[in-house]
Amino acid sequence: MQKFTQRWRVLLLPLFGFLFACAPFADAQAAGPINWFTISTVSSTNSPGWGRMLPWDQQGDNLVTYTEYPAGGSPIIRVARSNPANPTYTVIGWIPSPDGHIQEQSQMVQMPNGDILMAMRNRQTDLNWYGLPIVKSTDGGYQWNFVSQLDTNPNSNGRFDRGLWEPFLYVLPNGCVAGFYANEKHADDNPSYSQIVSERVSCDEGQTWGPEIYAAAEPGSARPGMPGFARMANGQYILVFEVCGTDNCNVHYKFSNDGTSWSNDLGYTLPNQQSGPYVTVLSSGRILVSSGGTNQISVSDDNGQSWYLNDPPAFQGATDTWPAIYQTGYNHSNEVGVVVNIDGAIKINFGNY
């Protein structure tokens, strides 16, 4: 694989994953465009989807979680590992859907002590219950044990439009975990919210969760959802999300000083991005945002005050890929990877900037 050896030649520091998430950034620095150099396939078995990465964990691995959809069976969440000794992705763990449930759309974070938390969405097949299970691995992703529910809706009454969707976890600098998700539970409230982006915080590794925070909400038919979240170079936080219902699923973004206090609005529109966004902040401070509807990558070198498109995109002409973008190079290395669902496979396109 072109340049793959170069990607693994550095020696990992054990706590890099946590320190990168929590250490202060330097001021954002302008750099050149991302130039793509190789594509790696994680899995092409059983129509996989919803790929998400935990890059450079404390064990020195890249972990990717995704959902398989076996013909005639229930979805299975998989965890695959790649590292310098085994550069191809190998499945090391899996979580089947419980009987009578559909479980999918997993995402991982690593705690300071090395434990890995995973969030996923779950619904009964009769749509009479929705949940967002949190599970934990203490052995690097091989075994997973149930911890809690980020939220549940036991009063959905067989409706597909009363669900809980798209969980996203992030470890804050104080070690607490912020959990974001799309929430339709308030559609029957007065005033009614068709869907909102909710947030809850846990300071005990996901065992319990604090009260619900309305991170992005507008009464009526607006449907903010598919949240992504990151800490910027200036110490503030950025939340990205789509707004369906009233804005054609265009991507919006907003800022918070502490990651838990939010203005009562839908923020700003991010041009050229639509549906299912993902945001990452590089060690240089540069912000990257991608989305499934356009598959473009928007870049900001000034903490989200202005944006421009990277040319070319990671996957030319692709749409509906639910992409996620990460810094995959070690420490201040200038490598990024975009994880997508494309051509019946989970693939990663790697690039340098």
- Output the pLDDT for position 13: 31
Which token pair is 135?
A: 């599970």
Residue 75 lies inside a defined structural domain of this protein: yes
Q: What is the pLDDT of residues 48-64, one digit of tens each?
A: 999 999 998 888 899 99
Residue 54 lies inside a defined structural domain of this protein: yes
In angstroms, the CA 38 to CA 19 distance is 28
- Output the pLDDT for position 1: 34
- Output the pLDDT for position 3: 35
In angstroms, the CA 218 to CA 216 distance is 7
Helix (H) or strand (E) holding 199: strand 196-202
Residue 136 lies inside a defined structural domain of this protein: yes
Any idea what the Cα angle at residue 223 is, between residues 219 and 226, rounded to 5°?
135
Burial classification of residue 261, based on how many CB atoms lie within 10 Å of its CB (0-12 exposed, 13-18 middle, 19 or more buried): exposed
Half-sphere exposure of 38 toward its Cβ, with a 13 Å CA cutoff?
A: 12
Question: Tokens 């992030």 label which residue?
Answer: 170
CATH number at residue 91: 2.120.10.10
- Output the pLDDT for position 183: 98
In angstroms, the CA 177 to CA 322 distance is 23
In angstroms, the CA 228 to CA 233 distance is 17
User: Low-confidence residues of the chain, pLDDT below 70?
Assistant: 1-31, 330-332
Residue 10 lies inside a defined structural domain of this protein: no
- Output the pLDDT for position 251: 98
Residue 225 lies inside a defined structural domain of this protein: yes
Residue 300 lies inside a defined structural domain of this protein: no
Burial classification of residue 203, based on how many CB atoms lie within 10 Å of its CB (0-12 exposed, 13-18 middle, 19 or more buried): middle
Helix (H) or strand (E) holding 7: helix 4-8
- Output the pLDDT for position 218: 98
In angstroms, the CA 315 to CA 139 distance is 34
Residue at 18: amino acid letter: F
Query: Under a CB-based contact definition with an 8 Å cutoff, are residues 278 and 253 in contact?
Result: no
**Of the candidates 297, 286, 279, 330, which has an alpha carbon nearest to the alpha carbon of residue 55?**
330
Residues forming beta bridges with residue 213, ordered by sequence position: 199
Which token pair is 204?
A: 């005990």
- Output the pLDDT for position 336: 94
If phi > 0 it is left, if psi is from -120 to 50 it is alpha, else beta; for residue 317 that is left
- Output the pLDDT for position 202: 98
Half-sphere exposure of 163 toward its Cβ, with a 13 Å CA cutoff?
A: 20
Residue 245 lies inside a defined structural domain of this protein: yes
User: Helices (H) and strands (E) in the chain — how many of each?
Assistant: 2, 24
Residue 315 lies inside a defined structural domain of this protein: no
- Output the pLDDT for position 8: 37
Overall number of domains in the chain: 1
Can you give the residue range of the structural domain that contains 244?
A: 49-294
